[in-house]
Structure 1
Amino acid sequence: MQGAVSLGSLLVLGLAWMLQAGPVLQDDLIPIQENFDLGQFMGKWNEVAVVSSCPYYMEDKRENPVIVALDLQQVAPDGNFTMTSARFSRNGTCKHRSTNYRLTDTPGRFFNHVARFGADVDSFVVHSNYNEYAMTLLLSTEQPSGTKTSKIKLYSRSKSVSAAVLEDFKTLVRDHGLSDDAIIMNQNIGQCSGEQETNPVSTQPQGD
């Protein structure tokens, strides 16, 4: 595997973001890709594996475990970016969704607000070699309840990943208090096209 790097040195902190509860993670304790390069991170990815502390998200993914095609494009001149996703729904139709992400002062950390759930989402690129795979951590806080959940996702430039990358992903999952047995491996059922929905970027302040 080109550029393979063990995550062990990044994950010694053994962070936990437990189901529906738990302490707020301090920003400086979250491992982020060193010397993160946003330009190299842009482009096309495939979401090949996911796990979450949110039972509703996991139930939905188990019912429809399909690979989600992603296209990340920077928006000039502010440098923020848009992620457009495409996936087959349970009834076989294709859904496109566009989400705008705001950059923060920390390279590799992004913010967006999901209006339909009233959730502020912090996303972190934990590790990537840019041309093969990326591992991301998403921490969501629903308002006004303050309910916190986490998602950990594995992206690939192709429709699969090597065994070594998958093992590193399992290590990341365990070190964030989730079970690697719960990981959902998405299935490749082909490409799709469809109508697009948009989740606009929030203007709410978010600490960096």
Structure 2
Amino acid sequence: MPVVVALAAAMLLLAGTYADVQPQKNFDLQKFSGKWYRVGLAYDSPGFIPYRERFKISMGTVDPQPGGNVSMTMWSIGSSGCRSTVYFYEKTSLPGMFTYFSTRHNMVKDITVVDTNYTDYAIVFKYKKMDKEYSQVALYGRNQKLKPELLKKFKDFSLAHGFPRESILTPTKAENCSSPGK
């Protein structure tokens, strides 16, 4: 019985930890638009850890749409080569917070831009509730290489929100898929 109590307490702690994630104050979608590289990832799913070495830096473009929605195209390298995926993020009542429908999981997910200076980096939090709650933190950069203090900021944020140290990574560069033309 103590294991059940400990598990329930841990789940409440995580839910409370994620509840305090707020979007960037005075978020400006126009400044946020353009090219970004995903240079850091943190997942709270234990199933992620064995695959962490397979991840490579991916690139995306954020294109504001009428009404405050966003179209985001991501390019990534996989076993079959370079591929692109388009996501449509719908604005919410909070600037910097969006929702989107994941065709992969057949459900709506939340996306929150929690911290950005628009010119160098952005920390983005993704939340989904399936059979349990899962979250992801992504570090985006306008370049593929960020200053050490920005990597530390991302890691500190992830650790402070309950992500295990072994689930936080900075992927290696993907040589063959770093731009839309490749």
Q: Shorter-normalised TM-score: what interval?
A: 0.7 to 0.9
Higher helix share: 2
Q: Report what 2:61 is aligned to.
A: 71
Q: What amino acid maps onto 2:32 in structure 1?
A: F
Q: Which residues of structure 1 form unaligned runs of 5+?
A: 1-17, 195-208
Q: Report what 2:124 is aligned to.
A: 136
Deviation at 1:166, TM superposition (A): 1.1
Q: Which residues of structure 2 form unaligned runs of 5+?
A: 1-7
How many residue pairs are counted as aligned between the two chains? Answer: 170
Counterparts of 1:106 and 1:176, CA distance in 2? 21
Counterparts of 1:27 and 1:49, CA distance in 2? 19
Counterparts of 2:140 and 2:157, CA distance in 1? 14
- Normalising by structure 1, we get a TM-score of 0.73
Say if 2:123 and 2:138, in contact at 8 Å, map to a contact too: yes
* Identity percentage of aligned residues: 26
After superposition, where does 1:1-208 map in structure 2 within 5 Å? 21-22=11-12, 24-25=15-16, 29-60=20-51, 62-76=52-66, 78-89=67-78, 91=79, 93-142=81-130, 145=131, 147-192=132-177
Deviation at 1:31, TM superposition (A): 3.0
Q: What amino acid maps onto 2:133 in structure 1?
A: K
Q: CA RMSD in A?
A: 2.4
SS at match of 1:66: coil
Q: Report what 1:9 is aligned to.
A: none
Counterparts of 2:167 and 2:21, CA distance in 1? 22
- Alignment deviations for residues 142-176 of structure 1 (CA, whole Å, 9 cap, x no partner): 2xx3x210000000000011111111111101111
Say if 1:51 and 1:58, in contact at 8 Å, map to a contact too: no
Residue 25 and residue 103 in structure 1: after superposition, are their counterparts in 2 closer, same or farther (change >3 A)? farther
Say if 1:49 and 1:155, in contact at 8 Å, map to a contact too: yes
Counterparts of 1:179 and 1:27, CA distance in 2? 14
- Alignment deviations for residues 54-98 of structure 1 (CA, whole Å, 9 cap, x no partner): 2344444x242211101110122x221111010110x25111100
- Normalising by structure 2, we get a TM-score of 0.83
Q: What amino acid maps onto 2:135 in structure 1?
A: S
SS at match of 1:86: strand
Say if 1:66 and 1:189, in contact at 8 Å, map to a contact too: yes
Q: What amino acid maps onto 1:82 in structure 2?
A: S
Q: What amino acid maps onto 1:185 in structure 2?
A: T
Counterparts of 1:118 and 1:26, CA distance in 2? 25
Counterparts of 2:158 and 2:32, CA distance in 1? 21
SS at match of 2:174: coil
Q: What amino acid maps onto 2:174 in structure 1?
A: I
